[in-house]
Amino acid sequence: MSYRGCSMSLLRAGAMSTQPTLLRHASRLGSLALLASLSACSPVVLNPAGDIAKQEASLVVTATLLMLIIIVPVMALTVYFAWKYREKAGARYEPEWHHSTQLELVIWAAPLMIIIALGSLTWVTTHTLDPFRPVSRIAEGKPLAADAKPLEVQVVALDWKWLFIYPEQKIATVNELALPVDRPVHFSISASSVMNSFYVPALAGQIYAMPAMTSELNAVLNKTGTFDGFSANYSGSGFSHMRFKTHGMTDADFDQWVANIAKGGDKDSAGALDTVAYLQLEQPSEKEPVRHFTAVDDGLFDKIVNLCVRPGKMCLKDMMALDARGGTGKAGIFNVAALTYDKNGRETTIPVIPGRGGQQADARTKAFVRAICVPDGVKTPVPADAAKLSLASPARPPLS
């Protein structure tokens, strides 16, 4: 063979010998990259910092293991049968076989037992982990003290940020939640516009936030640290930025955090959260920075839930109190604009009297019917104090 032919053969052999080497190196690099990425992950759902989340994680693991009792044997038998009865295996051939009582018992009894176990487990934990149910313990083996008082936190999902109101401390924050460890927390959760979902994986399961109603969540955080919280329900273009940090603190650190916000000394201070400030905050925005409000108007969360923060709006609870007494009849024509909840349209329309050429009603005396007289001796279908309706002032132009 010529020198040239020998050289070509050596080159081909060298290329063939280096190809597996390159593949091995690429495989090793890929494995290292995968291990590095996995080492950076924190399986917070299965290793949370709150007792409620831990119980939920235990439920997930238990349910998965119970299902694997069926799944693993089925997958193993699938491979076994494919190998045993392959074309050239010489396995026993029984074309007339059609029934086996023992096999039928195994096939039906095993799934039935799994379903019974899963059903029983789900029934118990559904009631034990009911988010509306107050927590009965701080952690496993650590019962709740009889005089323990939960921390109240009011959560409002806005477009596209989170508002946290601490009614007892009279402060509020945007996109930042702080909780003392080993203390029960009671969340009241609502929304300003579309449905959303409040979720802190390290604390507890996700809870939906819906406008004009309140959801609840009872939980407890057992570790200090910083944990992620976010929206778990698509709610528009800014949904992906609806994230916040949850800080687990000792009681002393939490009290200091509250005191710093109340005195307004930090860089994130935004003054007091009154009606005007809330209506400005409520406007859609994305990537909102953390804000701290030094004070909060009394009853603000109640107005948010009842859709009557904006002046000139009748609260839903007042409307329901009127309806419970039989409605207002023709007098209700003055209520039309006050009961219109369209944040981007007719919400601030001043009431008008139908049939009078669009003439505006007296904004002070005819904005909406305020009460219904009840004749003496007639029993009311609602408590007497429901007649004392507290209504907002007449409508104003929307804030810019």
Instruction: Please tell me the predicted confidence (pLDDT) of residue 28.
Output: 61
305: nearest Cα among 391, 188, 201, 199: 188
Q: How confident is the model at residue 315 (pLDDT cuts 50, 70, 90)?
A: confident
Residue 143 CA, chain-centre distance (Å), reads 27
| Domain ranges in the chain with CATH number 2.60.40.420 | 142-305
What lies within 8 Å, CB to CB, of 301 at 6+ separation is 154, 156, 165, 167, 188, 190
DSSP string, 316-377: HHHHHHHHHTT--GGGGGGGTGGG---TTTGGGPPPB-TTSTTPBP-TTTSSS-------TT
What lies within 8 Å, CB to CB, of 313 at 6+ separation is 307, 338, 341, 347, 392, 395
Angle of CA points 103, 109, 111, to nearest 5°: 110
pTM: 0.74
The whole-angstrom separation of Cα 134 and Cα 217 is 8
List, for residues 111-159, the tens digit of each pLDDT value.
899 999 999 999 999 899 999 999 999 999 899 988 899 999 999 999 9
**Chain mean pLDDT for the chain:** 79
> E strand or H helix at 177, and its extent?
strand 176-180
Q: What is the mean pLDDT of residues 201-214?
A: 94
Bridge partners (DSSP) listed for residue 295: 272
Cis status of the peptide bond prior to 160, with omega within 30 of 0:
yes
List, for residues 248-286, the tens digit of each pLDDT value.
999 999 999 999 999 987 788 888 999 999 999 999 999
With tokens 């409040």, the residue in question is: 198
Instruction: Please tell me the predicted confidence (pLDDT) of residue 305.
Output: 94
- Rounded to 5 degrees, φ, ψ at 372 are -125, 130
Q: How confident is the model at residue 331 (pLDDT cuts 50, 70, 90)?
A: low
Residue 143 has a CB neighbour count (10 Å cut-off) of 10
With tokens 């959801």, the residue in question is: 215
Q: How confident is the model at residue 290 (pLDDT cuts 50, 70, 90)?
A: very high
> E strand or H helix at 15, and its extent?
helix 3-40
The whole-angstrom separation of Cα 293 and Cα 273 is 6
Q: 142-305: which CATH architecture?
A: Sandwich (2.60)
